[in-house]
Structure formats: structure tokens, C-alpha cells
Amino acid sequence: MANQTKVELFENLRQEMRRGSLIVAVLAQLREEHYGYALRKTLADHGLEIDENTLYPLLRRLESQGLLESQWREEDKRNKRFYLLSSAGHEILSQLLEEFLQLTTALNRITEGSAVLEPTK
Amino acid sequence: MELLNRYLQAVKFWLPKAQQDDIIAEVSEDLRSKAEEREAILGRSLTQDEWKLLLKERGHPLLVANRFLPQHSLIGPMLLPIYWFVLKIVLACGLIPGLAVGIGMMVLVPSHHPENSLLGTLWLTAINSIFFVTLAFAILERYHKNWLELWSPDWSPEKLPPVRNTRRIPRFSSSVELCVDLILAVWMIEAYGARILLDSSGVRIALTPTGSALLAGVAALTFANACVAAVNLARPYWTSTRHGVRAGIHWLAAILCLVVFRAGQAVVDITGPGIPSDQAPGITHWVNSTMSIILLSSIAIASVYAIFETRKALKRKTANQMADALVTVL
């Protein structure tokens, strides 16, 4: 397999793998109110970089699905849109976290002692 | 700042009207926050070049707008395989016969130039097929999201078709093929002996020497095909040899028709008291012209069959070789 193809393949798989995790992370972080830019910074501080072109459409989608609530408010003399997890969002988040935990546990068990997890020599 | 406004205007252009202002306000706020952060680090306002870099990092306006747009597909992933399947069948049925006859005419009749009309017809057929099939599937996708449940509401594994054994030859089809081939071969041999195809109601269709040669050849090939059908009846499993023999028969049939067609000679001669003598040459000419078209179609059909049979023979041979290799390894 050509190197370029390998890089592209890895990137596609990485994006696919991250997609679901990002939703959980965003929902979890929005248990406290944040506006878009601050949310992105907080997630980055926790080690989860997220592209603006992914985050803002995702926030809108989650809001349209009733998982988030938002309101425009002035802060530091500028209008900002603040997002907060809705009550439906809280319910879904706890279910998702439970599912995520089961998935992580299963993955840990599956990959335990596996050569794929050993550092490349 | 002017660059930022131009950028926001370009993004806005692609957004749905109802959400334009809301989205742009949020994108604008985000970009301003980012710029402020950089300005705080630098201790001064951003230059034109730094704004340019910041906006380029955010991406092309169309790309930014696109992420906010609902993702639509004309035909969804569930329907797509069925769409391709139907489209292939419709295109094959619409294009292959016309293409085969057209190419045959171009190659075999140098004076005939149907290129333009043929291409026009094929192009129209292809466009129409693609248009109507796509339209039908797009409507299905749009208005019947649950088409699978409508189509097959109580599916069960037991109702799925039984596993096909592609090697097995149905005895019924071999029997029918054998009977039809034998009847035809016997009739052709008799007609060849008498040099007459039909002699009744005052009409006599006699074979010319070219017609006799064609009939003899077709009779021999039909008899050969009957032999293959007899073997298939006794041992109803396809082998590469049998596919090969059938391919050979079809290739020979195509060559035979081609030779007779190229010779351009009359195949039959029509006479008899039932036909006015002044009309006999005209009728003979018309029948021979019709025979030419039949020959041309036969070349196309026999060639297609020959190609399929050759492919099957090669495929079966490769499969057998692989099976032998596997047995040896195990």
C-alpha cells in the first residue's frame, strides 16, 4: 500500500472513530454553559482538539435534536451564543456514557496483551 | 476587518436564508474571539496578512457554509445497490442489441454509414434510461423512506431463494434442448437432401447452392449442440470442456453466418404457380434481404453467446485448477 494511501486511510478511520466520541465529549462538557469558542478551548485543554467547522454545525444539530438549549447573551461587550445541555440531553448523555464505558471495557479486554498496542520498535 | 466582512459575506451567500444571520453571527463571533486571542499574544492588532492567514486556516467559504447545510442524497445507501443493479439491466437491454447490430452493419456493409443515427439513438436511449431510472429511485427515496418494509414486510430467512448450484444443469432444460435440436437437425438434413425448404399451396422455396451450404452447416452445428445437451442430460454438471464445446459451436455459427453474409449471394429462390411470374423476382429479393438481416442478427447473437461461454469455460478451468492446488496443498 502506498504511503499516501496509508495516511489517507488512517485519517479516514481516525475521523470515523472520533465522530461518536466527540458528541459524547461535547454533551458532557455542556453540562456547564459555554459559548462555542470557549467550549472548543476547554475541550482542547482536555486534550480533545476539534475543528470549528465540525463543532458549530454539531452544536446546531444537537440543538435541533433537542439535546441542547441555546441563547444569545452579551458578554465582554459582544453577543455570544451560549449552549447548555437540556433535560433530554442529560438523559441521553447518561445512556451514552454507560454505552461508552461498556465499549471501552470491551475494547480493553479485546486488546489486552495484544501486539498492536505495543510501541513500534 | 474588511477581509473578515468579505469572508462572512461569501459564507453567507451559500447558507439557507432562514439561518443566514444566526450562523454568520456565530461564525463572526468565533473568528473575532480567535483574532483577539492572537492580538493578546502579539500585544497589537492583527495585520492584513495575519487576518488573511486566520481566514485561510478557517477554510474556503463554501466549505464552511457546506458544513452547516443539511446533507441530502438523491438516492440513499440502502437503495443505491438496487439502483445500480436496475440501471445496469436497463442499459444492457437498451444498448447492447442496438450497438451489436449497428457495429455489425458498419463493419460488414462498407456502403452503409449509420454512425450518426446509431450514435444519436444510443445516446438518447442511454440518457432516457438513466433519467427515468434515477427519477423513479429518487421518488422512492424521497417519499418512501421505509420502502424495505413496504416491499417485504414479513421477510423470513425461509422465504429467501434456495442456494443456487451454478454447476448443476436442470435436466428439464437439457431435455427440451435435446428434443428441439434433434427435430430441427432432422428437418434441416431432409431439406438439405431435397434442396427445398417449402413446397405447398403453389409456393416453392428452393435452396440456392449458398443456401444449401448454410443449411448443412447449421444442421451440423445443431446436431453438435444436441450431443452436448445429451451429455448434459446424462451428467447434469457443467465442466470447462462442455462450456468450451458450446463456445466453439457458437463461434463456428457466427463465422458461418459471417461467411454467407459476406458472400452476398441469394440463399433461396421462390417460384411456383401460386406466385405471379412477374412478382417472383421481387418476392425472392425481399426474402433474401430479410435473410441478410437475420444473418446479421445471428452473427451478433452467436458472438455474444460465444463470448459468455468462453468466459465461463475459462472461469471454470481456473476454479478447477485452484481446487486441485488446494487439494494438493492440504
The predicted-structure confidence for B279-312, as pLDDT tens digits, reads as follows: 888 888 888 888 888 888 888 889 989 999 999 9
Cβ distance B67 to A81 less than 8 Å, yes or no, reads: no
The average confidence (pLDDT) of chain B is: 86
Whether pLDDT at A121 is above 60: no
Whether pLDDT at A46 is above 80: yes
Give the mean pLDDT of B100-112.
Answer: 65
Whether pLDDT at B69 is above 90: no
Residues 59-78, chain B: which have Cβ within 8 Å of A?
59, 63-64, 67-68
Count of structural domains within chain B: 2
The verdict on B103 and B228 lying in the same domain is: no
The verdict on B102 and B179 lying in the same domain is: no
Give the CA angle between residues A113, A22, B14 to the nearest 5°.
145
Give the mean pLDDT of B103-121.
Answer: 65
The verdict on B232 and B192 lying in the same domain is: yes
pLDDT confidence bin for A102, thresholds 50/70/90: very high
The verdict on B113 and B193 lying in the same domain is: no
Q: What distances in angstroms separate CA A108 from CA A47, A55, A100, A113, B245, one per listed residue?
A: 20, 28, 12, 9, 59
* Distant-in-sequence, close-in-space partners of B125: CB < 8 Å, separation ≥ 6: B94, B95, B98
Q: In Å, how far is A90's CA from the nearest CA of chain B?
A: 24
Q: Is residue B163 part of a domain?
A: no
Nearest to B27 among A35, A56, A79 (CB): A56
The verdict on B113 and B206 lying in the same domain is: no
What is the reported pLDDT for B113? Answer: 61
Question: CA-CA distance, B111 to B105, in Å (whole number)?
Answer: 9
Question: CA-CA distance, B292 to A51, in Å (whole number)?
Answer: 70
What is the reported pLDDT for B244? Answer: 93
A101, amino acid identity: L
User: What percent of chain B shows pLDDT beyond 90?
Assistant: 43
What is the reported pLDDT for A120? Answer: 47
Whether the full predicted model's pTM is greater than 0.95, yes or no, is no
User: What percent of chain A shows pLDDT beyond 70?
Assistant: 91
What is the reported pLDDT for B196? Answer: 85
Q: What share of chain B is helix, strand, coil (3-state, %, to 5)?
A: 75, 5, 20
Query: pLDDT tens-digit profile of B226-254?
Result: 999 999 999 999 888 999 999 999 999 99
Stated as kind and residue range, the H or E segment containing B276 is: none
Question: What torsion do the CA atoms of B305, B308, B309, B314 make, to the nearest 10 degrees?
Answer: 160
Q: Domain residues for B122?
A: 80-144
Q: Is residue B228 part of a domain?
A: yes
SS3 (DSSP) at B16: coil
The verdict on B183 and B284 lying in the same domain is: yes
Q: In Å, how far is A4's CA from the nearest CA of chain B?
A: 22
Question: CA-CA distance, B266 to B292, in Å (whole number)?
Answer: 9
The verdict on B255 and B122 lying in the same domain is: no
Residue B93 touches partner A, C-beta closer than 8 Å: no
What is the reported pLDDT for B55? Answer: 94
Q: Is residue B61 part of a domain?
A: no
Q: Is residue B278 part of a domain?
A: yes
The chain A residue lying nearest B27, using CA atoms, is: A56
The verdict on B312 and B179 lying in the same domain is: yes
The verdict on B132 and B263 lying in the same domain is: no
- Count of C-beta atoms within a 10 Å radius of residue B70: 7
The verdict on B197 and B282 lying in the same domain is: yes
Question: CA-CA distance, B322 to A112, in Å (whole number)?
Answer: 38
Q: Nearest CA to B210 among B290, B268, B156? A: B268
Whether pLDDT at B100 is above 90: no
A54, amino acid identity: T
Q: Is residue B45 part of a domain?
A: no
Among A10-24, A70-84, B99-113, B157-171, the minimum mean pLDDT is found in B99-113
Among B99, B125, B144, the domain-final residue is B144
What is the reported pLDDT for A52? Answer: 92
Whether pLDDT at B149 is above 90: no
- Does residue A89 contact residue A96 with C-beta atoms inside 8 Å? no
As separate numbers, helices (DSSP H) first and strands (DSSP E) second, chain B gives 11, 3
pLDDT confidence bin for B58, thresholds 50/70/90: very high
Q: Nearest CA to B273 among B171, B201, B215? A: B201
What is the reported pLDDT for A83? Answer: 97
Whether pLDDT at A117 is above 70: no
Residue A35 touches partner B, C-beta closer than 8 Å: yes
The average confidence (pLDDT) of chain A is: 89
What is the reported pLDDT for A59? Answer: 96
User: What percent of chain B shows pLDDT beyond 70?
Assistant: 94
Stated as kind and residue range, the H or E segment containing A2 is: none
What is the reported pLDDT for B145? Answer: 67
